[in-house]
Amino acid sequence: MCGRFAQFETREEYLEFLNAGVEFAGALDGEPIGRYNVAPGTRVLLLNQREDKLHLDPVHWGYQPAWAKESGRPPLINARVETAATGRMFKPLWNSGRALVMADGWYEWKKDPDNVKIKQPYFIYHKNKKPIFFAAISRFHPDALDAPDDDGFVIVTAASDKGLVDIHDRRPLVMTREASLEWMSPETTPERAEELAHEYLIGADEFTFHPVGRAVGNIHNDGESIIKRIENPVV
């Protein structure tokens, strides 16, 4: 987790729901983003606050600092909330690169307990179909003409609980609206960010899920049909 998600509403709808009370630096239009199968290795709109304004920047989903690349470590797409604030890989991002990923839901693959080769994808989303915001940490240079190769972001994950653990043991870190805004603020200390991440997680009982077709497994497949419920899932 988290290896795929959906981001299909308009920029304006996400920001109106967040009700940030902070000026947005840029223009908003009514055109849906329309991505139903967002995959690692692609550029994703990352919501971040710089000084007193909110920005949306297309940032590479994945992070591989130079030292990790030199040692042969592959890019990472997620960071565990339990260790991200203190580990060598992610501490710099946690301290100064906190951001949010706007989303409408995410996908997980449930394994057959008797045959690990058999997996069934599920789409997980808020029960009220509200927008959700994944906590993310990042390193990127929005004003650079030639961005460094190690620019990127990862989604912060937490342990699943209640019904979600039946699908997967990890989930994206989704906090309350107020905590999400404080998470992004440059004035929030790394220590306070840890408190937010551990104490203001939206509970699993606010989410629901349904099985979807295997087409989501191919990054070239996209469109609204990806999130449609299917009958007779294999798991």
Catalytic residue chosen out of the listed positions 2, 9, 16, 224: 2
Residue type, 162: K
Cα–Cα distances in Å, from 197 out to 6, 54, 80, 183, 221?
22, 20, 11, 8, 33
State yes or no: pLDDT of 14 exceeds 90: yes
Q: How far is CA 186 from the centre of its chain?
A: 20
> Among this protein's residues, is 108 annotated catalytic?
yes
> What is the predicted pLDDT for the residue at 1?
59
Catalytic residue chosen out of the listed positions 12, 51, 108, 187: 108
> Among this protein's residues, is 2 annotated catalytic?
yes
State yes or no: pLDDT of 26 exceeds 90: no
pLDDT digits (tens, 9 = 90+) for 108-128: 999 898 998 999 999 999 999
pLDDT digits (tens, 9 = 90+) for 210-226: 999 999 999 999 999 99
Provide the whole-model pTM: 0.94
